Structure 1
């Protein structure tokens, strides 16, 4: 006779501890003319470490790229989540040093004016104030 409690204890003993990881992958797809569209996409993965999360994300990235007629560019960056999953949880963070002024930094890396995004009125007002301060 099989001992269900013993089997459950054995299963729990062999389970690996995992955490949640946000993995950012970069894609490129054709646009009109000679332009390319670049997409940064963050997905969430339960994994035992960042390397495993990246492996899962890259497999899914290849599938995603095929579905949208894009190319996965082979860049994946993982972030180990410290927060519990839920509203307001930080799923990705990247910190880089820079000597650029705020508006130049944002324009260089995030808000070139060609992004396919929508600014709220509050965001636009904040950007306008920032430009005046520098």
Structure 2
């Protein structure tokens, strides 16, 4: 199959940063061009193993993939996941988006903000 016949996929992998005292978890989304979803996931899983080995991280046993609609470009959706929780927007964001204990490589979140949380005692 030629490169032109291959599709693009975003693949989400998960890690535990075991060298760090708190052992935080990382979600990582990478883009892959492949013949099908299984091939994209296989590429991402090989990359995940290498990434984890280079950084002494643990790869967690979950890989999720999303087929892009065409070739990625400016403003392309690269991942989408629906959550059915019945929660309020604030509760949802507190649980899934950016709790106080998260760190982003380059924080750039905008939108709904939660009320300040009380300081831990």
TM range (shorter): 0.7 to 0.9
| 2:15 paired with 1:24 | no
Deviating beyond 6 angstroms after TM superposition, the runs of 4 or more aligned structure 1 residues are: none
Gaps of 5+ in 1: 1-13
SS class of match (2:50) = helix
SS class of match (2:47) = helix
Aligned length: 112
The match for 1:127 among 113, 117, 121 is 113
Whether contact under 8 Å (1:83, 1:90) holds in the other structure is no
Gaps of 5+ in 2: 116-121
Question: TM-score with structure 1 length normalisation?
Answer: 0.74
Question: TM-score with structure 2 length normalisation?
Answer: 0.82
- RMSD of equivalent CA atoms: 2.2
From the CA coordinates, give the structure whose radius of gyration is larger. 1
Higher RCO, 1 or 2 (CA under 8 Å, sep at least 6)? 2
The match for 1:101 among 72, 77, 88 is 88
